């Protein structure tokens, strides 16, 4: 079965690359979806450039979410920061429940159109899974292990860096992966405020009533999400195996 999965994965990657590098060769496939001789392949920009910009935005937002969520997760699991747990949880939950579109509406007047409001929306939307997983990872370190670490004479900082974070790492990575994958899809809304990304393709399709564009934007986004999820899961397994955290 792992053989089968690997083949599917490779096929998906090959399909994605082929489409991004030579979109015109797929024109016959998409032609039936168009009407009145409209272009079957998105022609208002380079698909590869858009996909890379999309991925770049998502990764920047994820990096910021990771920094803040892991930092906050560490803070609220220290005895001195425990009092901030309810507040932090509320804030992070708002970040997730407040619709990203609404975040755009609020931030555009403040920071203008383009990447910035999108980054802020994705950042806020991606905090929750990383934050919660960091907390669970840190809180489920076995009590005896923590007691031994302190008993051996590790300072609080040494204990955090050499015991708690390594043991929490698998869960933290899982949180980052969830956050990234959710945001690959969510990032399409950035195009409503003129951020470069695959949302552009979908919006162009909606505006010109071109189903081929909509499908292309959706397919590329979906394939990227699936492949990213898969790749990160593999990376996670490898990191955990070399660190013997399984």
Partner 1 sequence: MISLENLTKQYGATAVVDGVSMVIERNSITVIVGTSGSGKSTLLRMINRLVEPTRGRVLIDGADTTGEPAHLLRRRIGYVIQGYGLFPHRTVAENIATVPRLLGWDEARIRIRVAGLLSVFQLDPGAYAHAFPHQLSGGQQQRVGVARALAAEPAVLLMDEPFGALDPIIRAKAQDDLLDIQRRFGTTILLVTHDMDEAFRLGDRVAVMSHGRLLQYDRPAVLLTRPADPFVSRMTGISDRAMRLLSLTTAGEAALPGASDGPAVAASASLREVLSELMWCGAESAAVMDADGTRRGRLTIAAILARGRPG
- Residue 150 in contact with partner 1, rule: CB under 8 A: yes
- Residue 212 in contact with partner 1, rule: CB under 8 A: no
- Residue 78 in contact with partner 1, rule: CB under 8 A: no
- Residue 166 in contact with partner 1, rule: CB under 8 A: yes
Q: CB within 8 A of 187, min separation 6: which ones?
A: 54, 57, 58, 61, 118, 122, 195, 197, 198, 199
Residue 37: its H or E element: none
- Residue 149 in contact with partner 1, rule: CB under 8 A: yes
Tell me the window of 40-48, 80-88, 100-108, 145-153 that interacts with partner 1 (CB under 8 A): 145-153
**227 closest CA partner among 46, 55, 64:** 55
Q: How far apart are CA 15 and CA 21, in angstroms?
A: 10
When the beta carbons of 74 and 169 are compared against partner 1, the nearer one is 169
| Of residues 176-195, those binding partner 1 (CB under 8 A) | none
Q: CB within 8 A of 243, min separation 6: which ones?
A: 166, 169
- Residue 79 in contact with partner 1, rule: CB under 8 A: no
Q: Which of 22, 147, 161, 234 binds partner 1 (CB under 8 A)?
A: 147
Determine how many CB atoms are found less than 10 A away from the CB of residue 136.
16
**Residue in the structure block whose two tokens are 């409209």:** 38
The Cα-based distances of 119 to 42, 79, 135 in angstroms read 25, 32, 24
When the beta carbons of 35 and 158 are compared against partner 1, the nearer one is 158
- Residue 245 in contact with partner 1, rule: CB under 8 A: yes
When the beta carbons of 119 and 167 are compared against partner 1, the nearer one is 167
Tell me the window of 52-60, 149-157, 172-180, 185-193 that interacts with partner 1 (CB under 8 A): 149-157
Q: How far is the CB of 245 from partner 1 (least distance, A)?
A: 5
**229 closest CA partner among 3, 5, 1:** 5
Q: Please count the residues of this chain forming the interface with partner 1, following the rule CB under 8 A.
A: 20
- Residue 74 in contact with partner 1, rule: CB under 8 A: no
- Residue 201 in contact with partner 1, rule: CB under 8 A: no
**Residue in the structure block whose two tokens are 């698998």:** 170
Residues that bind partner 1 (CB under 8 A): 142, 144-155, 158, 163, 166-167, 243-245
């Amino acid at each position: 079965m792992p053989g089968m999965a690997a083949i599917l994965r490779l096929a998906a990657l090959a399909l994605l690359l082929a489409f991004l590098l030579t979109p015109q060769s797929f024109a016959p496939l998409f032609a039936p979806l168009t009407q009145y001789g409209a272009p079957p392949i998105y022609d208002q920009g380079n698909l590869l450039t858009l996909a890379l910009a999309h991925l770049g935005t998502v990764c920047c937002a994820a990096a910021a979410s990771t920094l803040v969520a892991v930092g906050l997760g560490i803070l609220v699991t220290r005895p001195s920061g425990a009092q901030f747990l309810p507040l932090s949880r509320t804030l992070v939950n708002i970040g997730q429940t407040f619709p990203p579109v609404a975040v755009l509406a609020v931030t555009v007047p403040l920071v203008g159109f383009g990447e910035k409001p999108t980054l802020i929306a994705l950042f806020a939307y991606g905090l929750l899974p990383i934050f919660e997983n960091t907390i669970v990872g840190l809180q489920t370190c076995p009590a005896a292990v923590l007691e031994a670490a302190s008993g051996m004479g590790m300072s609080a900082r040494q204990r955090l860096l050499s015991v708690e974070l390594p043991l929490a790492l698998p869960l933290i990575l899982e949180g980052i992966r969830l956050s990234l994958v959710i945001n690959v899809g969510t990032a399409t809304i950035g195009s409503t405020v003129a951020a470069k990304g695959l949302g552009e393709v979908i919006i162009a399709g909606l505006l010109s009533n071109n189903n081929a564009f909509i499908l292309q934007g959706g397919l590329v986004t979906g394939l990227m999400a699936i492949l990213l999820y898969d790749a990160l899961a593999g990376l996670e397994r490898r990191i955990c195996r070399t660190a013997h955290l399984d």
